[in-house]
Amino acid sequence: MHRLEERVPSQSRSSVKIGYVGGGSHGWAHTLVNDLLQCDDLAGTVSLYDVDYDAAERNARLANSLADRPDANGAWTFEARRDVDDALADADYVICSIQDPVEETFVHDIDVPQEYGIYQTVADTVGPGGVLRSLRAIPQYREIAATVREQCPDAWVVNYTNPMTVCTRALYEEFPDINAIGLCHEVFETQRLLADVAERYVDAAEDVAADEIEVNVKGVNHFTWVDEAYWNGRDVFQYLDRELEERKPIPGFEPGDLDGESYWTNHHQTAFDLYDRFGLLGAAGDRHLAEFVPWYLDIDEPREIQRWGIRLTPSSARTGDDEGPAKMERYLSGDEAFEFTESGEEVVDIVRALEGLEPIKTHVNHPNRGQTPDLPTGAVVETNAVITGGGVAPITAGDLPREVRSMVLTAVNNQETLIEAGFAGDLDLAFRAFLNDPLVTVQRDEARDLFADLVDLERDYLRDYDLEGAAVLED
């Protein structure tokens, strides 16, 4: 994120209403509270809506107690709402961060494909898991967009939910006049990587912060690419050949080497392998990049992927985090103090920019209006944009090389097919996208069985689809 002018003095305080869909979360909601209460030129109301009302109410209680602290800035009131219409009524901004119960959905997305020999490192964007997650998300995002249309048609909607591209695209398909963007961390991690490169090779580059690195980014979420990088106007991208040589051999690990590391470890082996092959740097975490092509995850057992400096994330890692609710109780009881921190998140900066306080330049997910000329118009793409009081203006990123574009187009076309299937409730059409996914490398009959198994296990979350009339589900 790059600020474009000096910060406006705090005397000019802007009052807004923020509606939060998924406001019972222990992650994004706490981050939003943390950031709002450190901002001295915004004030207003945050209405928290969640299907788990009690979770939203606990977050509201915690946030209001924090707002009363002497070290908190701004005049904010937090409230929990039982009805999404009430939460979004007359909102200036809407934030979305939702997730279905992991044990009833995400666990199946990860575990069932492995029974068919298909391994996924994340399973939330592409692959069999990404397809099912898309099918579950589309009806929910249609409902959010419809509520925005009725309750706050001029609001800006910020989406954090994966699959980012499909969720953001569904908002626009349901309500074409919506104002919406999607935000993701992955390019920031690439900027941190490039900051390290600058420190190693650029004269006088010391203690380079990630947000000092200017990149030209293009592609789709989690499959983004960088072809330019600068620090203080000096070309950093030119040093990637030297950095690549320093990192070779790639892959540089053996199965078992990473057994003691975090499931989320990232050594940028995939990003640099893509650079070596195609001349552009993969601008997302390796765990995401690996899922968009068939060759990295063509493995026979989980530890083989460690050759590329990453690990598979087992379903147990998605269900084993009970710390959130316990920490919340400690906060509410006073047994543990909530510490304000520098989160690095951008949503408050974006609100400030849209309020006309301080424009910024950052990367966003937004429908293609020509910023990526060689990708389909209307598809949600990820590029830089300038955000001001006048709105969000994507910056032209240029074309992708043909061989890279062909891979990105596979993802775009599958996502567009899933949108069509989701709006029609058509599982047979969804299965065509499933078959076309690069990770679905099994025979067609096996792919059909896998798809049917996943749908059957998650059918309670797929009730907007024609479950009885789908040929793909017939015995």
**Digit-coded pLDDT (tens) for 333-351:** 787 888 889 998 999 999 9
Share of the chain above pLDDT 70, in %: 96
pLDDT of amino acid 329 = 78
> Helix 127-151 and helix 402-424: axis angle, to 10°?
60
pLDDT(10) > 70: no
Alpha-carbon separation of residue 26 from 23, 98, 283, 465 (angstroms): 9, 11, 28, 31
How many structural domains compose the chain?
Answer: 1
DSSP per-residue letters across 348-379: HHHHHHHTTS--EEEEEEEE-SSSSTTS-TTS
In a domain, 109, yes or no: no
pLDDT of amino acid 9 = 42
Give the pLDDT mean for 214-227: 99
In a domain, 251, yes or no: yes
In a domain, 217, yes or no: yes
Q: Would you place residue 361 in the very low, low, confident or very high pLDDT band (cuts 50, 70, 90)?
A: very high
pLDDT of amino acid 27 = 83
* Cβ(129)–Cβ(109) below 8 Å: yes
pLDDT in tens, 50-76: 999 999 999 999 999 999 999 998 789
Identify the residue with better confidence: 475 or 167.
Answer: 167
Q: Would you place residue 26 in the very low, low, confident or very high pLDDT band (cuts 50, 70, 90)?
A: confident
Distance of alpha carbon 180 from alpha carbon 177, whole angstroms: 9
Report the greatest alpha carbon distance in the chain: 68
* Cβ(37)–Cβ(76) below 8 Å: yes
pLDDT of amino acid 12 = 56
Say which amino acid occupies 117.
G
For 145, the token pair is 């967009």
Nearest alpha-carbon partner for 93 in 367, 342, 347: 347
pLDDT(6) > 50: no
In a domain, 214, yes or no: yes
pLDDT in tens, 414-434: 999 999 999 999 999 999 999
Using omega within 30 degrees of 0 as the cis cutoff, is the peptide bond preceding 249 cis? Answer: yes
In a domain, 423, yes or no: no
* Cβ(221)–Cβ(382) below 8 Å: yes
* Cβ(289)–Cβ(219) below 8 Å: no
For 270, the token pair is 């995939």
pLDDT in tens, 383-392: 999 999 999 9
pLDDT of amino acid 320 = 64
Distance of alpha carbon 81 from alpha carbon 69, whole angstroms: 24
Cα–Cα–Cα angle for 255, 286, 444, rounded to 5 degrees: 80
pLDDT of amino acid 321 = 58
Domain that holds residue 240: 186-313
Q: Which residues are known catalytic residues?
A: 185
In a domain, 211, yes or no: yes
Distance of alpha carbon 33 from alpha carbon 60, whole angstroms: 9
pLDDT(11) > 70: no
Which secondary structure element, helix H or strand E, spans residue 454, and what is its range?
helix 444-457
Give the pLDDT mean for 301-321: 90
In a domain, 71, yes or no: no
Identify the residue with better confidence: 204 or 134.
Answer: 134
CB count within 10 Å of CB 448 equals 18
Q: Would you place residue 354 in the very low, low, confident or very high pLDDT band (cuts 50, 70, 90)?
A: very high
Mean pLDDT of all residues belonging to the chain: 95
pLDDT of amino acid 334 = 80
In a domain, 192, yes or no: yes
Nearest alpha-carbon partner for 281 in 389, 169, 391, 193: 193
For 224, the token pair is 């983004």
